[in-house]
Copies of this chain bind each other. A is one copy, B any other.
Amino acid sequence: MPPMSSKTVSASRVTLADIAEGCGVSRATVSLVVRNSPLVHADTRAKVEAEFKRQGYVYNRGAANLRQGRSSIVALVINDLSNPFFAEFAAGVDEALGEAGYAMLLGSTSESVARQQAVLSSLMEHRPAGIILSPAEGSEAGGVAGAVGSGTPMLLFNRDMGGCGWDFLSMDNQAGARMATEHLLAQGHRRIAFYGGFQVSSSCRQRRLGYAEAMAAAGIAPEPHWLIETAPTRLEAARQVAALFANDPALTAAVAYNDAVALGLMLGLAGCGRQAGRDFAVTGFDDIPEAAVSVPPLTTVATDPRELGRQAARRLLERIAEPAQATAAIVAPVRLAVRLSSSPPL
């Protein structure tokens, strides 16, 4: 006599075979139902679906992927999730991935190249269909390629690593810095510094390029000491403010590498007896939430990180669908949010 079991279902151990047996069809048929194949008769489908409910069936996508030799996972590797810019980016990636039926595996590197290698290797063991990587500062193409291999489509975000056949998405750093500089020029500033960031980073180079472009167009040749390098953090930016005026006390404005640097700069200005937005103009880059509420509110180049995330995911999915297509470098537009920190010179 069979036991009166399977009324209470044992924790999601229900398999396709159980369903098949439960309603008297083959496993193949159940498999077709689960994947919405039109081959199966409506009555059969209904019967099978009722059995799904009854037994509490949960599809095992891992098993399916193993058999099919594909994957419904995309890995996102980010330097710093606690940076709101990347958090928004991740939210955008998740959004677009979810729509396409992919799940997102997330890893973070804390800007450490060593951790990045470890995280990439570990994520690869889950056989993602593709990877979105925002490279840690100082990443090298060789190391990353070694961890990822050549079989997994990858899209680089924010920092390029020398065309290794990967797609690359970034915001238009050059145009952004150009817009910020042009804005300051339009306010009547002439002696404008470019403040902060590491020269080695591609985003810093691009922003400096935009700055130089605008200055040149205005017929101004920036002095070498108008270019000040600092770690891209608030604290470091605040510390270096003295260096800004050491060589040229007549500077009246600065295009900061990013908002963190700009906020640090504004803080440091006070220590030099100057006040941002009053006797010195500052612009930032990123438009982090704080920018709108700082004192004074910070004029900055606004990007839409969530939209960037969506774009990154969509582009990667395209490549997953068609791996052979040519590699692309996508540049997303930016806009200037003008606030009080960028007033005309005295």
Assess the B105–A60 pair: CB atoms within 8 A.
no
Interface pairs (26), CB distance under 8 Å:
A11-B149, A11-B150, A11-B151, A12-B149, A12-B151, A58-B124, A58-B149, A60-B125, A61-B127, A63-B66, A66-B66, A73-B126, A81-B87, A81-B90, A82-B84, A82-B306, A94-B108, A103-B107, A103-B122, A104-B105, A105-B106, A106-B106, A263-B293, A289-B290, A290-B290, A293-B294
In the complex, chain B residues whose CB is within 8 Å of the CB of A104: 105-107
Assess the B90–A127 pair: CB atoms within 8 A.
no
Interface string of A101-126 (1 = CB under 8 A from B): 10111111000000000010011111
In the complex, chain B residues whose CB is within 8 Å of the CB of A152: 11-12
Q: Does A65 contact B (CB under 8 A)?
A: yes
Q: Does A62 contact B (CB under 8 A)?
A: yes
Distance in angstroms from A72 CB to nearest chain B CB is 8
Bin the interface of chain A by size: 35 or more
CB under 8 Å from chain B, chain A span 142-177: 149-152
Q: Does A337 contact B (CB under 8 A)?
A: no
In the complex, chain B residues whose CB is within 8 Å of the CB of A127: 58, 60-62
Assess the B105–A103 pair: CB atoms within 8 A.
yes
Q: Does A225 contact B (CB under 8 A)?
A: no
Distance in angstroms from A73 CB to nearest chain B CB is 7
In the complex, chain B residues whose CB is within 8 Å of the CB of A66: 60, 62-63, 66
Distance in angstroms from A74 CB to nearest chain B CB is 11
In the complex, chain B residues whose CB is within 8 Å of the CB of A12: 124, 149, 151-152
Whole-angstrom CA separation of A46 from B11 in the bound complex: 41
